[in-house]
Structures are given as C-alpha cells and as structure tokens.
Chain A
Amino acid sequence: MVDEVDELIRMLKDEALSSGVRLGILIALYYIDGYVTFTDLQRDLDIPKSSLHQHLSMLQENGLVEFKRGITPLGVRTVVKITNKGKGIVSRYLELVRALR
C-alpha cells in the first residue's frame, strides 16, 4: 500500500503529469483510444488555445501524445492521439488507483 502511494506520488511529480489538466487529457485520450481534434478538446475543456497548446506540447515533448495535422472526415485538422508510452503510463496509473481503492 505504501509502495503504491509512493509510486503514485513519484509519477505525479513528473513534469508532464504535474498538472491536473495534462493528466486528465492523457487519461481521457487513453479511454477514447483514437484521435481527438484540437478544436474539440478546446471546446470540451473551455480553456484558451494557448494554454491547451502548451499542455499538449509538454505531453508531446515527453512522448506521451502525438499532436499533428491530420486528415479527418471533416477535413484537415490538428489531431491529438495518445502514444504507446502514454498508454503504458495511464495503464499503470489506473492500476495504482485501483489498488489504492
């Protein structure tokens, strides 16, 4: 139990996950398991474009999400998708949360 709490706190101290918004975006992308457009994400969260861009850039720098222009049914849009590394981290995070319950 103590080990799990320690691991969770260590995980959350990582620069990329030290913000609730970034952690939330990463978990949501894990559940969606596909791409989400930047516009949709901004509308969902109701935060300024610059803030969202900053959060996503930070996640991308750490290799947790892919953030690029892509073709969608509605045309070319900026899309965000979780990477395998990101999936691994969220999966471990959820295991820890499950264990702590």
Chain B
Amino acid sequence: MSSDVHELLRVSNVTVRRVLSRELRKAMGLYYLLWGTYPIAIAALYTISYEFSGIDSALSLRVFSLPMMFIIMMAIAMIYAFLSRRFFSMAYRVSRSPIIVNRRGRYRLRWVITSIIMVTTIAVYPILVGLGNVYIEYIPAVVYATLVAFTNATFFKSGFIRARYYDYLANASFIILFPLSLIYYFGYYILSLIWIYAGARSLLEVISGG
C-alpha cells in the first residue's frame, strides 16, 4: 500500500480514537448516573407501599409463585437496561472492533456466555431467596456483581478510554457492596452515591476535555 493510504489510515484511526474516547466516556458517565438512581427508585417504591396499604397488599401478592415485589423490581431493571441500551450497544461494537488495541480472545462468545450467566443468576435468585438462607442468596449476588464489573472492564480493555480512580471505585464497590447489601440495606445507598459520583466525574471529564 502506498504511503498516502498509510497516512489516510493513520489519520482516520486518530480521528476515531478522539471521537470515541469522549463519546464512550460520556456514555459511561450516563450509565453510572442512571444505575446510581436504581436503589433510590426501589426505595421510593418501598416507601410508597409503606404509605399506602392498598399498594402494600398488592405488592405482597405472589404471581406464579414469584413475589410481586420481585417482578416489579425486575421490570424497573428492564426499563433501566432499555435506557442504557446505547452504552451496551457501543460496548459490544467497540469490543468487536478490529481497530482496537489489547484485543484478545473471542468476544462474541464471551458476551454470549456472560449474558447467559447473568440471566440465569437473576432467574435463580428468587428460588434461592425461597430457601430462606441469606448466605445462599450471596452466591448469585456475587456472581452477578462480578459479571457486571467484568462487562464494564470491557470498555477499558478497548484502549479507547483510560480507567480512572472513580471507575475502580464504582466497580470495586459494586462487587463488595451489592452482595453485602442483602444483609445491610444501607449498602445500596452507599453504592448509589458512589455510582452517581462516578457518573458526575465522568461527565466532568468530558466537559473539561480530560
């Protein structure tokens, strides 16, 4: 290939990197901010059910042996997942890109396996809750938290964005606090604050051009 083509490819790679590094960081910031509000949304639901006994009794119903509260929490999680679809779609496309650095292994297979384990973990969770042993409930929570952190790490592996201290903070706190919150509910609120902080810092990084 001529040197002109090499130069064209070099400039195009620099351009892709400049645009994607900021757009990915922005998507990541919005993702942190959005999911940071999830525990607050659930807490609001509990508060409403506490205030209005009609809603409380409706939430205590069981549908196909699953608690209504669990179904509603999953429905809210689905809405959140829908709202963060741009983040997931970008993460998937970038992870499969032939122009990224640090690319190793079969990404499609890894994504499929990760998604299957995540969905299975969520499906198994109410069954384990039914056993009434909080330590057994820990297992899917730990698996789920680790997989979420692993998926988030895909963004950094691409080399388009650099992992900052608030990324480590958000993901490490998720692995530790998410399972722990099954026993100590305040863990959800700390998690929420850390994720909102990480989201705000990410967006500030984009604005300041860092």
Q: Chain A residues in contact with chain B, CB under 8 A? A: 5, 8-9, 12, 18-21, 23-25, 27-28, 30-34, 36, 40-41, 43-46, 94, 97-98, 101
**A33 and B86 contact, Cβ closer than 8 Å, known pairs A24-B13, A25-B15:** yes
Q: Are A28 and B19 in contact (CB under 8 A)?
A: yes
A-B contact pairs, 24 of them (CB 8 A): A12-B5, A12-B8, A20-B7, A20-B14, A23-B12, A24-B18, A25-B19, A27-B12, A27-B16, A28-B23, A31-B97, A32-B20, A33-B89, A36-B19, A36-B23, A40-B23, A41-B19, A43-B22, A43-B209, A44-B18, A44-B23, A97-B98, A97-B99, A101-B98
Lowest 8 A-B CB distances belong to which pairs?
Answer: A24-B15, A20-B11, A28-B19, A23-B12, A24-B12, A98-B98, A20-B12, A20-B8
Query: Of A41, A46, A94, which contacts B98 at CB under 8 A?
Result: A94
Q: Report whether B11 and A21 are in contact in the complex, using a CB–CB cutoff of 8 Å.
A: yes
* B90 adjacent to chain A (CB < 8 Å): yes
Determine whether B93 belongs to the interface, using a CB cutoff of 8 Å to chain A. Answer: yes
From B5, B16, B209, residue with most partner A Cβ within 10 Å: B16
Q: Which residues of A contact B15 (CB under 8 A)?
A: 20-21, 23-25, 27-28, 45
- Number of interface residues, chain B, beta carbon within 8 A: 26
Q: Which A residue sits closest to B20, measured CB to CB?
A: A28
| Residue B109, interface by CB 8 Å | no
B94 at interface, CB cutoff 8 A:
yes
Residue of B nearest to A46 (CB): B18
Contacts of B90 in A (CB 8 A): 31-33
Q: List, in ascending order, chain B residues with CB within 8 A of A8's CB.
A: 1, 5
Q: Dominant SS at the A interface?
A: helix
Chain B positions 65-101 with a Cβ under 8 Å from a chain A Cβ: 86, 89-90, 93-94, 97-99
- Which B residues contact A (CB, under 8 angstroms)? 1, 5, 7-16, 18-20, 22-23, 86, 89-90, 93-94, 97-99, 209
A18–B12 contact, CB under 8 A?
no
Closest chain B residue, CB of each to CB of A25: B15
Cα A28 to Cα B18 with chains together (Å): 9
Docked pose: A42 CA to B163 CA in angstroms: 24
Report the minimal beta-carbon distance from B33 to chain A, rounded to whole angstroms: 13
Distance A23 CA – B90 CA, assembled complex (angstroms): 18
Measured between beta carbons, the chain A residues less than 8 angstroms from B9 are 12, 20, 23
Contacts of A41 in B (CB 8 A): 19
- Output the least CB separation between B2 and chain A (Å): 8
